[in-house]
Chain A
Amino acid sequence: MPSVVKNSPAVIVPAEPGSSLWSDAWHRLSKNRLAVLGGGMLLILGLVSLLGPPVISALGGASYAYNFTNLDNAFAPPSHLHLFGTDQLGRDLLVRVLMGGRISLGVGLCATFVALTIGVVYGAIAGYVGGKTDAVMMRLVDIIYALPFTIFVILLMVFFGRNIILLFVAIGAVEWLTMARIVRGQIMSLKKMEFIEAARSLGLSNRRIIFRHLLPNALGPIIVYTTLTIPAVMLLEAFLSFLGLGVQPPMSSWGTLIKDGAEKMEEFWWLLVFPGAIFSLALFSLNFLGDGLRDALDVRAAKD
C-alpha cells in the first residue's frame, strides 16, 4: 500500500518530514494493544482453520476427519482425546469448528469483497461525476437503504436454493450501500483539490484520475469500513445459518454449529459453548482491529 501513496502526486495531510500518513498510522496502530491483539488473534484463527484439520487428521488418524461418523462415540464430553467433545454423530467438534471457521471467514471475506467492489465503484462514480447523475444514484441508494433487506435475503435464500455463491451475492448486495456513501463523500471533497485539477490539466482520463489519484487518497476510510464490514457480514451469514437458510450439511459454518448446539444444549453444553465462544472471539478480534484502524487512520482524532 505505501507504494500507491508514494506515486500519488499529493499528500492530504501536511506530514512531518520522514513520516508519511501510513507510517504514522502504523505507528499509532502498533501502540494500540487491543488492536494488535485482535489482528494477531485473527491471523491465528485463520491459520489454525486452514492448517488445523489436515494436521489433526494426520496426527490422530482418519477418525478426526470432519465427516467421520462414529455413533459409538456420539456426544463424548470434552476430554484429552476430543478437546471440544464430539457431536451427535461422534464427529470431533474441534475439527468441525475449524472447518466452520474456513466457511465463516471465507464467506466474510468474499462477501465483503463483493460489497467493497460494488460500493467503491458506485460511490466513486457518483461522487466524481456529480450533478444529476449523482442525485439519481444516491437517491437509489436511499431507497434501497429503506428496504427491509434482511427479509429479502431470507426470501432469496429460501426460494433460490441455499447455495453458497448466492449467499455471497445476497450479503454483498446488502452491505455495499454504506461503502458507496463513504466513498462518495471522500471523492466529493477530494475532487475539488488542486492536485486533481493538475491531473486534469495534464489531460489524464477520468478513469485514471479516479483510480490512480482519488481512490488512493480515500483509502483510509475504505480500509476502516472494510474491516468493520467483515464482522457484520459474518453475523448475517451466521444469522441465516441459524435460521437454517445458510450453509447446508455436511458443511458447517459457525452459524450452523451454534444452531445445532442451541438445540442440544440442555444435555450437551459443549456443542453450544465452543462454537459460540470461537465465533465471538473472531468478532471481538475484527471489531478491535477495526476500531484500532479507525483511531489510527482518523486524522481528525489524532490532532486533538
Chain B
Amino acid sequence: MKKALFVALALAATSASAAPFVYPAAWTAEQNTANKRGGELRLGVLSDFKTINPFTSAEADSIPGTMDNGTGLFTQDPRNDEFLPYMADAKPVVSNSGKRFVVKIRQGMKFSDGQAITADDWITTWKIHTDDKVGSNSYDSFFLNDKPITIKKLDNYTLQFDFPQVSSGAYERMSFAPWPDHVFGKAYREGGAEAVKKLWTLGTPASQIVSPGMWVLESFRAGERSVFAKNPNWGDWNKDSRGNALPYLDKLSYRVTGDANASLAAFLAGQIDTVGMRNADDLAQTKRAIDGGSLKATLIPNVSPQAQSSWMTFNWNKASNPTLQKLFRDVRFRRAMSHIANRKAMVDLALGGLGTETYFSVYPIFSQQIAAGASAPKYSYNLAQASKLLAQIGYTKKNAQGYLVDKAGKVLEFNLSTNAGNTTREQLGRIFADEAKKVGVKVNFTPIDFNNLVGQLTSKGEDRPFDAILLGLSGGSNVWSFGANVTPCGTNLHSYNNPTNGKCLTAQESLMTKLYYQGDAELDDAKRRAIGGQLMKAEGELQPVIYLVGGNYHVAYNERIGGEYPRALMNAYYLQRDQALTFVK
C-alpha cells in the first residue's frame, strides 16, 4: 500500500516538472466541455501522396506535413501573431545582440513509439536537412544570405541557435519539426544521405513510422486514402484549458479525390468534413445543398482574402529590342498598364464577384502590414489617365486598326504569356488584353506551358526571352511579408530586372533592397511594419510589377465536427481550425 502510494507520488512529481502546453480557451468558438472523444476527421486531398520521408518530401500537402502538425519549438498565436513557446519550455534567452538563442526544450515529450524527444532529434534533423546530397526542400531555411545557421546541443534539453545575422524570421526558422534521431540519425551515421533517402518510402509498413506530432500514419492505400491515428504520447504535453489530453479525435483521414469538383461532390455527399471553397459556384452549390436539407454544414463566405497574389511583370532586360526595353523601363508606361488593369471587372468576371483588388506585393490578408503602407500610391483603373501617360511617352497617333503608333509608325505592341491550363489566369490575361485594346495597346496574349514560362521568368541576362508574364505567387509569412527572393535585386524571382551582374537599375530598387534587409533584421513588430510601409511606398511609385486581384477565402465544414476557431481568428493564414481542438459532436 505504501509502495503504491509512493509510485503515484513519483508519477505526479515527474508530470509536474513536465508542464504541458495548454491550448487557450479562446482558440476555439465551441468548447468541448463534455469532453467528447473519439471519431475521425475526414479530409480530401487533390493528388496522391508521394512519400512519407520528411527529408525528401516536396509536396504542399504531405504525410510528413501532417505528422509535423503539433510540433515546433514555437507556435504562433492566431490572436496576435506572437510566438509562444511550444516544444520549448520557455521563451529563449537571447544574446549576442539578437543573434544567439538558447532554448530550453520542454521535458516529458515522447515520439509515438515512446522514445523521449530530446536535443539530439533537433540536431539530427538539422544535419540531414542541410546535407545537399539529401536534397531536402527545407535546405534553404537553414541559411540566411547563404550563411548557415548553426545549432549546438548544450545538454539533452538545451539547444543553442547561432544566426549569422539578426533576423525577424528567427522564431519561424527555429520552429522546424524534430524527426527521430533513433531512426534517421542511426541511418545517417551508418549510410549517409543515401540511407536516409531509402527510409520511409510509400512501401514502408505504417507500423514502422514514428511521429513527433499529433498524428501518426496508421494505413495507406496508394491513390485512395491515408489514415492517421492520434499519437498516444502527444496528449501528455498537450492539454485543453480544462486539463484534458488532446487531440479529442482518434483519427484523421485523407481521401484522394483527384480534382476539385470531385472534392466538392464528396463534401456535398457528406463523405468528407470540409473542403476548400474556390469561388461563388462552390458556395452556391453548398448553400443549395444546405437549403435543400441534404447537407448539414456551416458556410462562412468571404472570411478573408487568400494568401496569394496574381501579377504582371515586364522584362527590363531586352537588349535585342531596345524600343520595348526602353518602354518597359519607363515608369510612366508601367503606371499606364496599372491604369489599364480593370481589377473590378477581373473580380466580377474571372473570380465570380468574390475577390479583392491588389496593388502591392504584400497579400491583402496581412492587414497590419497593409495598414502600415496605407499612404503608398495606387494606380487604379482609369483608361483616360493611361492614354495621357502613353501620350507623354510619345504614343499620340492611332493607325487604321485603332492601335497606337510611335513617330516611326510602329505599333505599340507586346506579348503577354501565362501558364496554360489555369482558367482564372487565362481570363485575367484576356481581360487585360481586351482593355488594353480600348486605349490602342496591342497585347498578344498566349497561355504557354508552365515549365517553359518559369524558365523564361527566372532567366538571367541582358536579353531575357519574354516581354511580359502574368503569374501568381503564394506562400509568405505574416512576420515579414516581403519575398526573400522577390524584393532584393539579383534574386531568383526579381522578375522584372535580372541582368547577369544582378545589379539594381533604379534608385527605388536599391532602396527596396536596402529596406528589405533592414526590415528583416528589425525585431520590433511595429518598427518592422513601418519599414514595410516605406517599402510599399517605393514599390507603389516604381510599379515594377503590376498586381491584379486575389480570390477570397471561404470556410465550409460539416456540422458533425466542432471546435473551429472563433470567426475573428479564421483567415487564409491560420485557416479554420486547430485539429487538436476539433471534435466530433
Say whether A and B bind each other: no
A residues at B contact (CB < 8 Å): none
Residues of B within 8 A of A (CB): none
